[in-house]
Structure 1
């Protein structure tokens, strides 16, 4: 992506995951909204149901609502952007509101917000009348570069993260880069942990480029942000082009997520998703090294990129390792391989860009003693000196 984004531009890519195709726009500047109106007018939609993050600035919601309303009747519904509120009860409430507002099979659900709202709206679209069209208008870098590049739509159960869901593709994704201008830098850095994951696990040939472009202060131009998004599109397309359901090679996208998801839930929302995944990758790298799969140099490569991104590399000291281990036992990857006693399911690496295979599967059963050692490597008091 070139520097024209800093002056205003719109770039369209077609996302291809197996037989699924959808348009993915990255835009900047006021002129881009006319292109969105043109694209929406082609959908022949009788109503837009905008599920909006209730914490978004009113100006953002009003702008997006006005663009959609210029094409078809539009209703805005509020969603709570928290993991605690990402549950089936929220779907039920939104579905009732949408139906009462006149939603039909010709309607489109619009997800306006970050990853949590995208998941909630996505599952609503997948379930409403057994499936209506979905449009993503993400407002965070994490959703632009990660969650909208997936067909998975899910909410949490009382026992764990993303236990209840469906596969439901969007019709289009519209990324307006100005939405990121007011985000806290910590949220930008959190999102870039998933970009780091893509380089470590999928496209290590981009390592030097990413290392050179990451900034510990988390401040980037629109052109730089567009470049990160482009990298993530390339990485996800590489592993999902023949695995749209992310059950085979696409499982590599779960690298760092086993421990990461557990800690994220236990933090009660205090630990941002990307930060949790970044630390989860450090734990997975240590586990991979302890099992003899990953070299010390490749483990250090994890630390280098996360350090350049300026993020914490240890969990808060009030998140208990034993509680993390208990949550890991309910991870949503269970069942891909036959379970063994006192083992947990992990995605591990043999090297950068080289997932470890266990009888052809990316899922490895890891003993709890080794998992515990991985957790100790990212404890709040850890120095990570053993990585050198």
Structure 2
């Protein structure tokens, strides 16, 4: 990693919640993490680690924690199929006998999936242990840790079971990204693209100039992308920490995207699914007279520059996607209407549609179907 980015720290503010957010690499980052952990005065650290990480990667963070207090490592598969209450209960059965107390700290070491499981675990044990996020993927660094939401899947849908629980701080150690597959980088940047389209369209040109289909980025590029996501999410969450008002725009593309992701059993990467969901939402908004052809094209342009897919994987049935959309966890923000589905739409880049003041638009099922069908082939 280039020495230009050694350690940067800033504060995240979501409503009345504040927590530290550091981005760094190399020995400076690790020694600073050790110092920060020591300041927590914890009697034990329990690291919930992605089982796919190497022993060296887990060992680095375990050594930082172990210099301060007794440390236990629990591993969990980063698999969408294991993101369940049963898996959280299994972690709790391993965690509680270690001797944790209310002074102990849970550390989430992995991507967004592991972060959610560890986050929910920390929220539930003793009705709330302290949480530290050490994300190891770009998607987690730029998106999932920038939220208070901690949730797992039910047997019928994504993120149905959860609560809000803030970390005490987030430590982004960029060295973890050295071996990240290109597809993981592209997937993460789809969420960043969502922030550009929905919140900060004034950053469109500079993002378009930086995006590369080969996903070969410098540390400075990665820091730029992370900073942009922090700025965008802070703009809508500063007075909406629970993401029920203005911050609902962060769910743009997620209704159809989550359905596609669920139907593939997680084989379709989360960010890619959200990118496809945004393309479908843009087509729906255009059909409803909300978006111009140019704004719809702007969605596709950024995704193509990013090297992300623009059609659903073969074998995904549009009718199954439509049926799964009916189980989306955003239902109920507005009174339901028979034959319609609740979506978040734009009426211009950076301009969420607000019928009746809410960010939820009730869309006739036939129009939702049309949007889904628009991402089943390259013909737009």
TM-score for both structures, normalised by structure 2: 0.99
Task: Give yes or no for the alignment of 1:127 onto 2:124.
Answer: yes
Q: Distance in 2 between matches of 1:32 and 1:183?
A: 19
Which of 42, 47, 51 aligns to 2:44? It is 47
Name 2:324's counterpart in structure 1: 327
Q: Deviations over 1:11-53 (max 9, x none)?
A: 0010000110000000012122111111111111111010000
How far apart are residue 231 of structure 1 and its match?
0.1
Aligned residue-pair number: 380
Which of 338, 346, 362 aligns to 2:335? It is 338
Which of 261, 266, 271 aligns to 1:269? It is 266
Q: Distance in 1 between matches of 2:98 and 2:154?
A: 28
Segment of structure 1 superposing worse, 246-255 or 56-65? 56-65
Q: Helix, strand or coil for the counterpart of 2:10?
A: strand
Name 1:65's counterpart in structure 2: 62
Task: Give yes or no for the alignment of 1:249 onto 2:246.
Answer: yes
Which stretches in structure 2 are left out of the alignment for 5+ residues?
none
Q: Helix, strand or coil for the counterpart of 1:193?
A: helix
Task: Give yes or no for the alignment of 1:382 onto 2:378.
Answer: yes
CA contact (8 A) 2:213 2:305 kept: yes
State the Cα RMSD in Å. Answer: 0.9
How far apart are residue 7 of structure 1 and its match?
4.4
Which of 174, 186, 190 aligns to 2:187? It is 190
Name 1:155's counterpart in structure 2: 152
How far apart are residue 382 of structure 1 and its match?
3.2
Which stretches in structure 1 are left out of the alignment for 5+ residues?
none
Q: Helix, strand or coil for the counterpart of 2:371?
A: helix
Q: Which runs of 4+ in 1 moved over 6 A?
A: none
How far apart are residue 347 of structure 1 and its match?
0.3
Name 2:227's counterpart in structure 1: 230
Which of 298, 303, 310 aligns to 1:301? It is 298
Correspondences of 1:160-179 after superposition (within 5 Å): 160-179=157-176
Q: Deviations over 1:116-162 (max 9, x none)?
A: 00000000011110011000000000000000000000000011000
Q: Helix, strand or coil for the counterpart of 1:239?
A: helix
Q: Distance in 2 between matches of 1:5 and 1:280?
A: 35
Name 1:212's counterpart in structure 2: 209
How far apart are residue 345 of structure 1 and its match?
1.0
Q: Distance in 2 between matches of 1:348 and 1:126?
A: 32
CA contact (8 A) 1:376 1:382 kept: no
Q: Distance in 2 between matches of 1:176 and 1:335?
A: 38
Q: Distance in 1 between matches of 2:298 and 2:48?
A: 39
How far apart are residue 5 of structure 1 and its match?
5.1
Q: Deviations over 1:292-339 (max 9, x none)?
A: 101110000001100100111000121111111111000000011101
CA contact (8 A) 2:352 2:359 kept: yes
Task: Give yes or no for the alignment of 1:352 onto 2:346.
Answer: no
Which of 79, 104, 108 aligns to 2:105? It is 108
Task: Give yes or no for the alignment of 1:372 onto 2:369.
Answer: yes
Name 2:200's counterpart in structure 1: 203
CA contact (8 A) 1:6 1:221 kept: no
TM-score for both structures, normalised by structure 1: 0.97
Q: Distance in 1 between matches of 2:3 and 2:318?
A: 44
How far apart are residue 261 of structure 1 and its match?
0.3
CA contact (8 A) 2:185 2:215 kept: yes
Q: Distance in 1 between matches of 2:362 and 2:80?
A: 27
CA contact (8 A) 1:6 1:223 kept: no
Q: Helix, strand or coil for the counterpart of 2:356?
A: coil
Q: Helix, strand or coil for the counterpart of 1:245?
A: coil
Name 1:74's counterpart in structure 2: 71
Name 2:276's counterpart in structure 1: 279
